[in-house]
Structure 1
Amino acid sequence: MTTNLPCPDSPNCVSTQATDDGHAIAPFRYRKSRAEAKEALKDIIRTLPRAKLVEEDESSLRYEFTSLLFRFVDDVEFLFDDHAKTIHFRSASRTGYSDLGVNRRRMEEIRSLVEGKL
């Protein structure tokens, strides 16, 4: 699993590895061990509504977030870079053109929840 897939041209994706302003977002940083940071992130995401962990390996997590009203699914992938103590991520809508900023807001909400806990 990897988060290095580029965002599409549509404004329904954010990625720490994007270079354009419309899609770029800052990664999360962690101080704990990768395993501890991963468990802390999982604990935080577990508190969010309609989030389902669908894949996990030693250095990555993949979630599906489902919208309440229309049941749209967004894919969110986290990749832990232990050398740089950085969590790269990509959050993208599976369908549609615009997400009205939902993916960016979700990732900034997660950023505020993980602050000081990783």
Structure 2
Amino acid sequence: MKIAGLLLGALLLVAALLLLAAGQLGFLAGQPPKDLGVRDGRLKPPSPTPNSVSSQAGSHADHPQRSGADIAPLHYTGDAKAALGRLATLLESTPGCVLVTREPAYLYAQCHTRWLKFTDDVEFALDEAAHVIQVRSASRLGRKDFGVNRARVEALRARFEKT
């Protein structure tokens, strides 16, 4: 019995090390979606699985609604372009995030988890008429994200509101 327990422990350790190595080598990053960006004034709808959030979740009537997908947009005062510029600077200074696309009214970043390097796609679209920046954050792989996308957006919101 003692040997079986040791073998099981060794197998679990090897499995954990293999998973960590796979993540560090980029095998868990997934592929970037080809349909990101703003279309008809909206970002892509949130995923039907609980691994994404969107401030425009309710604006996609043709998409099945999912509980927990809604998140508030980022509110700003003053100059819209300056607000988006502040947000871009915050993304660039966020550990694990890489700003991939910076356009006058749109930002796209890829954020990676520390150990396993799972990649999340984070988009922001400037809505000048409403004085908000719409947001969508989604995991590429898996069904659940354990609240990581929501936590990331809320942390960015807190930093954005301080600047």
1:18 aligns with 2:39: no
Letter in 2 for 1:83: A
CA deviation map 1:56-96 (0-9, x unaligned): 21100000001111111100000001111110010000111
Larger relative helix fraction: 2
Larger Rg: 2
| Bigger relative CO (Cα 8 Å, ≥ 6 apart) | 1
Show the counterpart of 1:64.
110
Larger relative strand fraction: 1
**Partner secondary structure for residue 153 of structure 2:** helix
List runs of 5+ in structure 1 lacking aligned partners: none
CA deviation map 1:24-74 (0-9, x unaligned): 001111112122111111122222101101112110000000111111110
1:1-118 equivalence runs, <5 A: 1-2=37-38, 4-19=43-58, 20-117=66-163
> Structure 1 runs of 4+ off > 3 angstroms?
none
Identity %: 36
Q: What is the distance in 1 between the residues matched to 2:113 and 2:119?
A: 7
Q: What TM-score, normalized to structure 2?
A: 0.68
Select between 43-52 and 60-69 the one with higher mean Cα deviation.
43-52
Q: What TM-score, normalized to structure 1?
A: 0.92
RMSD after superposition: 1.3
How many residue pairs match? The answer is 117
Q: What is the distance in 2 between the residues matched to 1:42 and 1:56?
A: 8
List runs of 5+ in structure 2 lacking aligned partners: 1-36, 59-65
